[in-house]
């Protein structure tokens, strides 16, 4: 397995994205997390840091890594965020995407608009659906062309910000094979480089060159904080 990460500040004054990759205490299980601090709240970077560290520490104790374990880890992060809010008298919030790789299985979970993608045999096999106002309205069948405006996609409807009811995870478990590529990216990236463009770049370049191209583009084009975890599955345990 190869893991390449990168983050760019964009046109912001600070970078509130946080990346964490590590191994579980369970053999041959790796954990990959990307959190995006919410810009409208105070201390977004702190929220992202608390979220990734708390979730990682919780998951290192897990054995099953099932949806219940993952939701419990997010709930713990909510609790830590709430404690910090009460102590500092400030609002904290973050969205997050995570991947658990265990032998020939990938387990994805996300809260908010951090996006997860899986490419297999040169095709997009999975793309997470963001928790934002556009998708909520589409689900309610009340949408029209106006509601599909990009301004609605920036309003997240789930996040880690101290309220467990507002941080229910979405979960997907998928079998993976050799040469699959899994990505986690913050909205600062997927708002300017979509999944089809990513597929085209992947299919025409090596894994390393793909990452170089993406990060060079972000240096020039990124407006918001933009971060990426790229994982190439070059062996199956």
CB 91 within 8 A of CB 100: no
Per the structure, how many domains does the chain have? 1
Parent domain of 105: 2-232
Asked if residue 36 belongs to a domain, the reply is: yes
The answer to whether residue 55 sits within a structural domain is: yes
Residue 128 lies in a domain: yes
Q: pTM for the full model?
A: 0.92
Look at residue 23 and tell me if it is in a domain.
Answer: yes
Residue 181 lies in a domain: yes
Residue 157 within a domain: yes
Is the C-alpha dihedral spanning 193, 126, 114, 219 positive or negative? negative
Q: Exposed, middle or buried, 31 (CB in 10 Å: 0-12/13-18/19+)?
A: buried
Is residue 237 assigned to a domain?
A: no
3-state secondary structure the chain: CEEEEEEECCCCCCCCEEEEEEECCCCCEEEEEEEEECCCCCCHHHHHHHHHHHHHHHHCCCCCCCHHHHHHHHHHHHHHHHHHHHHHCCCCCEEEEEEEEECCEEEEEEECCCEEEEEECCEEEEECCCCEHHHHHHHCCCCCCHHHCHHHHCCECCCECCCHHHCCCEEEEEECCCCCEEEEECHHHHCCCCHHHHHHHHHCCCHHHHHHHHHHHHHHHCCCCEEEEEEECCCCC
Q: Can you give the pLDDT at residue 172?
A: 98
Write out the chain's pLDDT in tens, 237 residues: 999 999 999 999 999 999 999 999 888 899 999 999 997 787 999 999 999 999 999 999 998 899 999 999 999 999 999 999 999 998 999 999 999 999 899 999 999 999 999 999 999 999 999 998 876 776 665 555 555 555 655 789 999 999 999 999 999 999 999 999 999 999 999 999 999 999 999 999 999 999 999 999 999 999 999 999 999 998 655
Please give the structure tokens belonging to residue 118: 């899986």
pLDDT of residue 113: 95
Model pLDDT, residue 50 = 97
β-pair partners for 29: 102
Distance CA 126, CA 193 (A): 16
Query: For position 220, which CATH number holds?
Result: 3.60.40.10
């Amino acid at each position: 397995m190869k893991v390449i990460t990168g983050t760019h500040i964009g046109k912001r004054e600070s970078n509130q994205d946080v990346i964490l990759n590590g191994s579980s205490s369970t053999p041959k299980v790796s954990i990959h997390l990307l959190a995006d601090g919410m810009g409208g709240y105070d201390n977004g970077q702190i929220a992202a840091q608390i979220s990734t560290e708390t979730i990682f520490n919780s998951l290192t104790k897990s054995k099953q890594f099932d949806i219940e374990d993952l939701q419990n880890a997010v709930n713990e992060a909510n609790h830590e965020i709430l404690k910090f809010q009460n102590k500092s008298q400030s609002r904290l919030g973050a969205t997050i995407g995570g991947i658990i790789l265990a032998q020939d299985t990938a387990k994805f979970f996300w809260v908010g608009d951090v996006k997860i993608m899986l490419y297999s045999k040169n095709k997009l096999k999975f793309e997470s659906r963001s928790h934002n106002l556009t998708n909520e309205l589409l689900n309610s069948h009340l949408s029209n062309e106006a509601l599909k405006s990009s301004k609605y996609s920036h309003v997240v409807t789930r996040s880690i910000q101290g309220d467990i009811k507002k941080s229910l995870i979405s979960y997907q478990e998928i079998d993976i094979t050799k040469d699959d590529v899994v990505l986690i990216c913050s909205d600062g990236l997927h708002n300017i480089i979509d999944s089809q463009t990513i597929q085209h770049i992947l299919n025409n370049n090596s894994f390393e060159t793909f990452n170089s191209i993406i990060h060079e583009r972000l240096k020039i084009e990124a407006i918001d904080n933009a971060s990426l975890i790229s994982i190439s599955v070059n062996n199956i345990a």
